[in-house]
Amino acid sequence: MLLSELSYSVAELAERFGLSSHGDGTHRIDGVGTLAGATASQLSFLSNSKYDAQLSATHAGVVVLREENLTSCPTAALIAKDPYVAYAKIAALFERLPSAPPGIHSSAVVAASARVSNSASIGPCCVIEDGAVIEDGAILGPHCMIGTDCTVGAQSRLVARVTLVIRVTLGKRVLVHPGAVIGSDGFGLAFDKDHWIKLPQLGGVRIGDDCEIGANTTIDRGALDDTVLEEDVRLDNQIQIAHNVYVGAHTAMAGCAAVAGSAKIGRYCMIGGNAGVLGHLELADRVTITAKSLVTSSIREPGEYSSGVPLQANLQWRKNAARFKHLDEYARRLSALEKDKNHE
Amino acid sequence: MLLSELSYSVAELAERFGLSSHGDGTHRIDGVGTLAGATASQLSFLSNSKYDAQLSATHAGVVVLREENLTSCPTAALIAKDPYVAYAKIAALFERLPSAPPGIHSSAVVAASARVSNSASIGPCCVIEDGAVIEDGAILGPHCMIGTDCTVGAQSRLVARVTLVIRVTLGKRVLVHPGAVIGSDGFGLAFDKDHWIKLPQLGGVRIGDDCEIGANTTIDRGALDDTVLEEDVRLDNQIQIAHNVYVGAHTAMAGCAAVAGSAKIGRYCMIGGNAGVLGHLELADRVTITAKSLVTSSIREPGEYSSGVPLQANLQWRKNAARFKHLDEYARRLSALEKDKNHE
Amino acid sequence: MLLSELSYSVAELAERFGLSSHGDGTHRIDGVGTLAGATASQLSFLSNSKYDAQLSATHAGVVVLREENLTSCPTAALIAKDPYVAYAKIAALFERLPSAPPGIHSSAVVAASARVSNSASIGPCCVIEDGAVIEDGAILGPHCMIGTDCTVGAQSRLVARVTLVIRVTLGKRVLVHPGAVIGSDGFGLAFDKDHWIKLPQLGGVRIGDDCEIGANTTIDRGALDDTVLEEDVRLDNQIQIAHNVYVGAHTAMAGCAAVAGSAKIGRYCMIGGNAGVLGHLELADRVTITAKSLVTSSIREPGEYSSGVPLQANLQWRKNAARFKHLDEYARRLSALEKDKNHE
């Protein structure tokens, strides 16, 4: 557990985050922890009722919780309508990021035509190519490449080993994790009699403000128009976004999800882990797709959608799965029996 | 949209690509665009009938299309049997790749025993190890590693951050996108009573001419023999090819597909996004696997194959999915009813 | 095929690995090969009965096999109870790894506060940040980044381009393949009225001794507590391990498997390719999940579990898949028919 050098009193936290406090307001907090693991100098939170039972035994110095849980709290408390949101904001006080001093590390390679803000931090072994722009306060960790005609917006952070290939624009406060590749060639091929011909990928990628892109996620650039993520889109690790996909603001995708070419995802959508969306489809706003589901046609109404079959012990599953191959036949036989019944 | 400094007249394009033209042959084209977005100095195309309606309203300077669409075309036209293929060839004229001057960047680290052609371009922060060979005109973007005893064939291009681990041979004109790892250890383990023992992976990887390898795709080297891709194999992003897989020429795989160890995929196969092929199977030539399907036994006949169940609203899906666990029982009960019926 | 400069007599191999030998004990072996491909100076093995037929025709100099196969062996033999395990141990003699001399390459960038053992090997373009520790005999190939407060245990090997982000501890003899990212931010978000708020990820990652992490695999660090892999966990390529996952010792996962946040996987589990485990679940020891299955609730008993439906020719599959959407209705209609029957 990381301890910040800073500490805050319970009363200071209450005032800073607009929460009401109970118990000793002078008690000082220098970090955060789980209900089960937090010490007397740490703050914890109770949001999921699954953990209610841990509250009475916690050794945390203060707990962020809903008013209804206050009576079970053995220590100081901060009352929040949404304890998880309140906790997220408070915990940010205790995050210690590696230092990133302004300036260009001596091992970085920066093209003469690139423009790097004086307040930007360019880490070791970074490569910045022709026409690239790094705006104020942007941080590039080690091993990043900013390709030709790419822009990294102000206050954005590329943690390490991020590759922007060509014609990629990141908005402000974009956070990109290691291994992400943005602006790679879309998978555009035409079949010419007996072999493949490649379609040049002449578009780019536009990523809105406050987006987050996970580790080893890939986002291809567009064939003609751009691939687009609106603001506050949140992508987990190992997600694949194909060329000319358009993702609406505030949509979140869990690890290993994939969206095929030219699909248009609405705003406030939630795409589950390893779910897939086929190409050229449209998803309305506020559509949720559960894990490992495959979307094969457009979805016009908000709501939760799923595909797949449940897990079973292998021996039972084998029997059921074998029957699936005859489902159409069974349905016909069922109808035939019903018809016979009605004719009796 | 990228504009080339070059421009071509409609008549020049017709002649160069063997197409017949209609309308003003002197009109000059300096780029390409979609039917909806192209300007008067740009070329567009109509291949998918889904976009027929956009033709009459296009502002493109010239449109590549089938003869049957000519009457609806409000501007100059180039007639092609396959407009998509013709467009792919024409659009390549307007692609501007980052410059890659011959020579070795001062920040690259090249082993004394490596052989690098004078016409090859080795970018910043590349590392080339013992016994590696970089042939004529090959281009390595930033952050590539060419491991021991690897060869990069003539005119191949490793866009950036490509890692060839050991004993990897790329043919000519191979294109590899950022984050790809080729020649990593196959996942070979033997279970020795209570723990795992690793099998050394002593083979290599051979990639044929004109292959394309997507971003963050991984291709393991063989345990004893090599992992092989024949010529013109096209792999999208985040594909996993295990050790000793053999992929026939002209096969294409969409994003996040995976092939397990020692599987043998035929020629001209199409493997859909996130589809999987289990180990030691064989797929005939011209087999198509649709997205997210799992191949669990060998396929001897060409054709299209699928698995999975359709997406539904979650509440309906839950009811159906729960029933799947009893499918074998239902089939038995159906047969029992039929038997009763016949005995009446 | 790689040939070592070393060679061993059949008798030497028998003694070193405690095997009994048949045939010419003075015959010398300088490498390994498949039954079909090995030459007279190479050793091969027969473990899978699928290859029995290849034994009589082998040109290998010696074959590791079970006693029961001895009569069919045309050459010298080494008898083992588990020929695959014996072969794995013998073959390791013939693996030639790229040299990795102790010391720090001149192009590497090492923070003043980092501690690097004199016997460690730090390759070209590596970056080692504040407070990192590299223990005795550890090998870092090119392009690795060891972030703040990370430790690489003794004799561990990071093949190339491995990124440890922050607060990651690797045990001894850990092997990590290129493109792996360990210690990236967990995907922790709280929804605040109309936008996402990020939860700081304040934990780390602890990887036990003798673990292996595949190419382009991602392991997020914990939100508060650590993400943990016990000893001898074996992860293939492109696996996603979310924050606060706990994986028991000796568990192996095949390519593209994914485990969501806070799941707890037992010891000696086997997770198949592209299988998924949802968050906050528990899997008992010795659970096997077959390829592409999705685990949606905890599993308390050892054994093999599966989900999914079988592959079929697309036309047949379409008919069956369409029927799946009505499975609940069919089950009700079946029950209704049975009820009618019983009332007759």
* Residue B111 phi, psi (nearest 5): -65, 150
Side-chain half-sphere of B33: how many Cα atoms within 13 Å?
Answer: 22
Q: What distance in Å separates the CA atoms of residue C269 and residue C265, rounded to the nearest whole number?
A: 7
Q: What distance in Å separates the CA atoms of residue C45 and residue C35, rounded to the nearest whole number?
A: 7
Per residue of chain B (344 residues), give pLDDT as tens: 344 468 999 999 999 999 999 999 999 999 999 999 999 999 999 998 889 999 999 999 999 999 999 999 999 999 999 999 999 999 999 998 888 999 999 999 999 999 999 999 999 999 999 999 999 999 999 999 999 999 999 999 999 999 999 999 999 999 999 999 999 999 999 999 999 999 999 999 999 999 999 999 999 999 999 999 999 999 999 999 999 999 999 999 999 999 999 999 999 999 999 999 999 999 999 999 999 999 999 999 999 999 999 999 999 999 999 999 999 999 999 999 999 888 76
Chains in touch with B (3+ beta-carbon pairs under 8 Å) read A, C
Instruction: Please give the pLDDT value at position A342.
Output: 82
Contact indicator for C245, C261 with CB cutoff of 8 Å = yes
Q: Estimate to the nearest angstrom the gap between the alpha carbon of A4 and the chain centroid.
A: 26
- The residue written with tokens 């498997």 in the block is C257
Q: Which residues of A touch B85 (CB under 8 A)?
A: 190-192, 197
Residue of C231, C113, C110, C219 whose CA lies nearest to C162 = C219
> Amino acid identity of B130?
D
Asked whether the beta carbons of residue C124 and residue B147 sit closer than 8 angstroms, the reply is no
Q: What distance in Å separates the CA atoms of residue B180 and residue C215, rounded to the nearest whole number?
A: 9
B64 bridge partner residues: B45, B78
Q: Which residues of C touch A60 (CB under 8 A)?
A: none
Instruction: Please give the pLDDT value at position C3.
Output: 44
Whole-number percent of chain C with pLDDT over 90: 94
Asked whether the beta carbons of residue C330 and residue A331 sit closer than 8 angstroms, the reply is yes
Chains in touch with A (3+ beta-carbon pairs under 8 Å) read B, C
Domain C103-305 has CATH 3.40.640.10: no
Instruction: Please give the pLDDT value at position C99.
Output: 84
**C-alpha to C-alpha distances, C139 to A241, B107, C17, C208, C210, nearest whole angstrom:** 35, 22, 28, 17, 14
Written as six digits, the tokens of B99 are 């410059």
Q: Give the pairing of strands B303-306 and B282-283.
A: unpaired
- To probe the interface with A, which of B17, B145, B216, B320 has the most A CB atoms within 10 Å? B216
Q: How many CB pairs under 8 A join A and C?
A: 234
Please name the residues in contact with B248: beta carbons below 8 A apart, sequence gap of 6 or more: B230, B233, B265, B266, B267, B268, B269, B285
- To probe the interface with B, which of A146, A165, A176, A202 has the most B CB atoms within 10 Å? A202
Asked whether the beta carbons of residue C311 and residue B296 sit closer than 8 angstroms, the reply is yes
- Give A313 to chain B, closest Cα distance, Å: 10
Asked whether the beta carbons of residue C125 and residue B125 sit closer than 8 angstroms, the reply is yes
**Closest Cβ–Cβ partner in C197, C290, C294 for A85:** C197
Query: What residue ranges do the domains of chain B occupy?
Result: 8-94, 103-305, 314-343
Say yes or no to pLDDT of A321 above 90.
yes
Q: Give the pairing of strands B234-235 and B252-253.
A: parallel
**C-alpha to C-alpha distances, C123 to A227, B109, C55, nearest whole angstrom:** 37, 10, 43
Q: Among B22, B27, B177, B243, which one carries the catalytic annotation?
A: B243
Q: Which residues of C touch A125 (CB under 8 A)?
A: 109, 125, 127, 143
Q: Which parts of chain B fold into alpha helices (H)?
A: 10-17, 52-55, 83-91, 314-324, 327-343
Angle (CA) A158 A164 A167, round 5°: 130
Asked whether the beta carbons of residue C324 and residue B309 sit closer than 8 angstroms, the reply is yes
Q: What distance in Å separates the CA atoms of residue B71 and residue C40, rounded to the nearest whole number?
A: 72
- To probe the interface with C, which of A17, A46, A125 has the most C CB atoms within 10 Å? A125
Please name the residues in contact with B186: beta carbons below 8 A apart, sequence gap of 6 or more: B199, B201, B203, B220, B221, B222, B223, B227, B242, B243, B244, B261
Residues of C with catalytic annotation? 243
Asked whether the beta carbons of residue B200 and residue C341 sit closer than 8 angstroms, the reply is no
> What 8-state DSSP symbol labels residue C299?
B
**C-alpha to C-alpha distances, B112 to A20, B129, B148, C171, C194, nearest whole angstrom:** 69, 8, 12, 34, 58
Written as six digits, the tokens of B63 are 């449109």
- What are A62-99's pLDDT values in tens digits? 999 999 999 999 999 999 999 999 999 999 999 988 88
Q: What distance in Å separates the CA atoms of residue B329 and residue A167, rounded to the nearest whole number?
A: 57
- What are C17-50's pLDDT values in tens digits? 999 999 999 999 999 999 999 999 999 999 988 8
Q: What distance in Å separates the CA atoms of residue B307 and residue B325, rounded to the nearest whole number?
A: 17
| Confidence class for position C292, pLDDT limits 50, 70, 90 | very high
Mean pLDDT of chain A: 96
Count of CB atoms within 10 A of residue A91's CB? 22
Radius of gyration of the CA atoms of chain A, in A: 26
Q: Give the pairing of strands C276-277 and C258-259.
A: parallel
A235 bridge partner residues: A213, A253
**Closest Cβ–Cβ partner in C127, C166, C185 for A142:** C127
Contact indicator for B293, B304 with CB cutoff of 8 Å = no
**Closest Cβ–Cβ partner in A98, A142, A215 for C184:** A215
| For range C284-308, the mean pLDDT | 98
Asked whether the beta carbons of residue A178 and residue C184 sit closer than 8 angstroms, the reply is yes
Side-chain half-sphere of C135: how many Cα atoms within 13 Å?
Answer: 14
Asked whether the beta carbons of residue C317 and residue B327 sit closer than 8 angstroms, the reply is no
- Reported as type and span, the H/E element at residue C316 is helix C314-324
A145 bridge partner residues: A127, A163
**Closest Cβ–Cβ partner in C191, C296, C308 for A321:** C308
- Reported as type and span, the H/E element at residue A341 is helix A327-343
Asked whether the beta carbons of residue A1 and residue C224 sit closer than 8 angstroms, the reply is yes
- What are A109-168's pLDDT values in tens digits? 999 999 999 999 999 999 999 999 999 999 999 999 999 999 999 999 999 999 999 999
- Give A191 to chain B, closest Cα distance, Å: 7
Q: Give the pairing of strands C181-184 and C163-166.
A: parallel
Asked whether the beta carbons of residue C240 and residue A255 sit closer than 8 angstroms, the reply is yes
Name which residue leads in pLDDT, C213 or A51. Answer: C213
Q: Among A177, A243, A326, A343, which one carries the catalytic annotation?
A: A243
DSSP string, B170-196: E-TT-EE-TT-EEEEPP--EEEETTEE
- The nearest alpha carbon in chain B to A106 belongs to B107
Residue of C266, C257, C261 whose CA lies nearest to C229 = C266
Say yes or no to pLDDT of C61 above 60.
yes
- Give A249 to chain B, closest Cα distance, Å: 23
Written as six digits, the tokens of A143 are 């091993």
DSSP string, C181-248: EEEEPP--EEEETTEEEEPP----EEE-TT-EE-TT-EEEPPSSS-EEE-TT-EE-TT-EE-TT-EE-
**Closest Cβ–Cβ partner in A216, A297, A309 for B321:** A309
Instruction: Please give the pLDDT value at position C5.
Output: 61
- To probe the interface with B, which of C104, C237, C269, C333 has the most B CB atoms within 10 Å? C237
Q: Which residues of A touch B291 (CB under 8 A)?
A: 260, 276, 278, 294, 296
Angle (CA) B167 B149 B178, round 5°: 65
Written as six digits, the tokens of A200 are 């040049």
Contact indicator for B195, B176 with CB cutoff of 8 Å = no
- The nearest alpha carbon in chain B to A303 belongs to B313
Written as six digits, the tokens of B328 are 């074998």
Asked whether the beta carbons of residue B99 and residue A320 sit closer than 8 angstroms, the reply is no
Task: With H, G, I as helix, E, B as strand and everything else as coil, classify residue A29.
Answer: strand
Instruction: Please give the pLDDT value at position A4.
Output: 45
Q: What distance in Å separates the CA atoms of residue C307 and residue A293, rounded to the nearest whole number?
A: 13
Helices (H) and strands (E) in chain A, counts: 5, 40
Written as six digits, the tokens of B191 are 């279970």
Instruction: Please give the pLDDT value at position C40.
Output: 96
Write down the CATH number for the domain with range B8-94.
3.40.1390.10
Q: What distance in Å separates the CA atoms of residue B197 and residue A64, rounded to the nearest whole number?
A: 48
Q: What distance in Å separates the CA atoms of residue C167 and residue C199, rounded to the nearest whole number?
A: 17
- Give A195 to chain C, closest Cα distance, Å: 25
Residue of B265, B297, B262, B270 whose CA lies nearest to B284 = B265
